[in-house]
């Protein structure tokens, strides 16, 4: 997300790459392949910078939340459908284990869906790499609604476990270290908590615990 009125070096570079791409045909045949390869590299680097900038701005200047009564299971299904093609490409299976009739809770559906669930599923997918499974659970208690994202990607090394939610900390070579930090902050802004249950060499489970909405309870009593 680029803030309105703010200059975007990434956008300008992207436009420059596009314009240069239009001129590939004018390059000498002996250099055309090398020129096209360099342009592709520039385009990938610009995309990576844009993604980093977007994540940083989302962390530094999050938009105000708009809370709406939400069918949590349906929201999760929508996010799973979005990420499913990438998982199929890596031969990663997503299994859903949803409790039926969950109590509706008040969520900012865009921030929670993209900033929390999509981040957790992407993290699980990247931790697995290829040929694995992700299980997405929901359950309800008297006080909370819980979401668990469980993967069999080997877990987090025990010595790194205390740092997984630190901003800019990442166990991946090209990670930004913002995804889990953003997810945790959004969950906390919803009055909940995000915790890690780590099983080194087997997998990891990230659990989102949200309070049942007091606002909705009051509406039901009227």
Q: What is the DSSP string of 158-210?
A: GGGGGGTTSTT--SSTT--S-HHHHHHHHHHHTT-EEEEEEETTTEEEEEEEE
- Same domain, residue pair 91 and 172: yes
Q: Decide if 109 is inside a domain.
A: yes
Q: Decide if 147 is inside a domain.
A: yes
- Same domain, residue pair 149 and 78: yes
- Same domain, residue pair 86 and 137: yes
Q: Decide if 1 is inside a domain.
A: no
* Rounded mean pLDDT, 89-106: 94
Q: Decide if 213 is inside a domain.
A: yes
> 85 burial class (0-12, 13-18, 19+ CB within 10 angstroms)?
exposed
Q: Decide if 173 is inside a domain.
A: yes
Residue among 109, 94, 100 at smallest CA distance from 145: 100
Q: Decide if 208 is inside a domain.
A: yes
Rounded CA separation 149/121 (Å): 7
Q: Is residue 89 predicted with pLDDT exceeding 90?
A: yes
pLDDT at position 56 is 52
Task: Tokens 């390059």: give the residue.
Answer: 27
- Same domain, residue pair 42 and 143: no
- Same domain, residue pair 72 and 52: no
Rounded CA separation 56/72 (Å): 27
Q: Decide if 2 is inside a domain.
A: no
Evaluate whether 137 touches 148 at the Cβ level (below 8 Å).
yes
- The residue with greater pLDDT, 7 or 173, is 173
- Token digits of residue 187: 């969950």
**113: domain range?**
68-221
pLDDT tens digits for range 165-174:
887 766 665 5
Q: Decide if 3 is inside a domain.
A: no
- Same domain, residue pair 45 and 94: no
Q: pLDDT grade, residue 1 (50/70/90)?
A: very low
Number of compact structural domains in the chain:
2
pLDDT tens digits for range 27-51:
556 666 776 667 776 676 566 556 5
pLDDT at position 23 is 54
């Amino acid at each position: 997300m680029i803030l309105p009125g703010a200059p975007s070096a990434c956008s300008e570079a992207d436009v420059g790459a596009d314009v240069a791409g239009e001129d590939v045909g004018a390059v000498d045949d002996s250099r055309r392949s090398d020129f096209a390869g360099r342009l592709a590299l520039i385009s990938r680097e610009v995309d990576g910078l844009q993604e980093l900038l977007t994540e940083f701005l989302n962390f530094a200047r999050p938009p105000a939340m708009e809370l709406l009564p939400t069918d949590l299971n349906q929201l999760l299904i929508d996010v799973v459908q979005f990420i499913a093609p990438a998982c199929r490409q890596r031969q990663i299976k997503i299994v859903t284990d949803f409790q039926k009739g969950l109590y509706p809770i008040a969520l900012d559906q865009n921030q929670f869906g993209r900033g929390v669930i999509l981040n957790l599923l992407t993290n699980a997918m990247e931790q697995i790499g290829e040929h694995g499974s992700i299980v997405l659970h929901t359950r309800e208690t008297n006080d909370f609604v819980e979401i668990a994202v469980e993967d069999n990607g080997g877990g987090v090394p025990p010595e790194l476990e205390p740092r997984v939610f630190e901003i800019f900390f990442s166990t991946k070579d090209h990670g930004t270290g913002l995804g889990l930090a953003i997810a945790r902050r959004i969950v906390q802004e919803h009055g909940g908590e995000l915790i890690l249950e780590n099983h080194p060499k087997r997998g990891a489970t990230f659990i989102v615990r949200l309070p049942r909405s007091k606002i909705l309870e009051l509406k039901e009593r009227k």
